[in-house]
A = this chain, B = another copy of it.
Amino acid sequence: WPHDGPCRPDEVALLLIDFQSDFIDADGYLAKVGGDIKPAQEAVMKVKPILEAARSAGVRVFHTREGHRPSLADLSKYKKWRSQRAGAEVGASSETGSMFLVRGSPGWDITPELAPIEGEEVIDGPGYDKFMHTDLEHCLRCAGIKYLIVAGLTTEVCVSSTVRGATERGFECLLVTDGTAATEQNHLRPHIDTMLVEGGIFGSVADAHHVLVA
């Protein structure tokens, strides 16, 4: 990876998807809808050295956050209904008072271990594919990025949607297999394998160790 040989560091970005407390902490959205947060916490630990390596190598870093306006003007009726049904209605309050997936709420922010530093961009949006309803593509084009190293939460929702969105737009992706965790863990492996069907339909995969070595 990439398929067309070695690339310059300034053509690659590290894209960290939704490493938010809402998907990691015991009181967050994911735990409330029945997801298993332990794998998410393990993924954070695997991604931390990759983030540090990217910073050292001068690779640009983009963080994303799934979150809604406090007014919920960007919350579709359907998402409101299905999240309510799952036990963590977007905009409702958790036991500790954070509003699920609402911008500015404690649970919505990025977990301290992977918190962005100056020079790193944060992309906020209401969708699962981080290219939808955001300026992610615009920022990547402005920076001349062609290749994406991707890690994040959750595998079968935002990570899979974003890798697909990236592929449609001509960005070549490498997914960090142990830098991602699924809403339901039995979905992890099938979604990683799906990246590779038909010769690598959505890009390539590697574990954190190999990404670091490279």
Contact = CB atoms under 8 A, between A and B. Distances in A.
Interface of A: 3-4, 33, 35, 69, 71, 73-78, 81-87, 119, 121, 125-129, 132-135, 137-139, 141-143, 156-157, 160-161, 164-165, 167-170, 172, 183-184, 186-187, 190-191, 193-194, 197-201
A154 to B, nearest CB: 8
A167 B127 CA distance: 9
B135 A126 contact: yes
A168 B133 contact: yes
Contacts of A119: 71
Contacts of A82: 3, 198-201
Contacts of A77: 3-4, 142
B126 A138 contact: yes
Q: How many copies does the complex hold?
A: 4
A78 B142 CA distance: 10
Contacts of A125: 135
B164 A183 contact: no
Given A126-B138, A138-B126, A170-B76, A83 B199 contact: yes
Contacts of A134: 133, 135
A50 to B, nearest CB: 21
Given A35-B197, A133-B168, 8 more contacts: A3-B78, A78-B172, A81-B199, A82-B201, A128-B167, A129-B168, A156-B197, A187-B190
Contacts of A33: 197-199
Contacts of A35: 197-198
Given A74-B139, A138-B74, A168-B132, A156 B194 contact: yes
Contacts of A128: 164, 167-168, 201
15 contacts: A3-B78, A35-B197, A35-B198, A81-B199, A82-B199, A86-B198, A87-B199, A133-B134, A156-B194, A156-B197, A157-B194, A157-B197, A160-B194, A184-B197, A187-B193
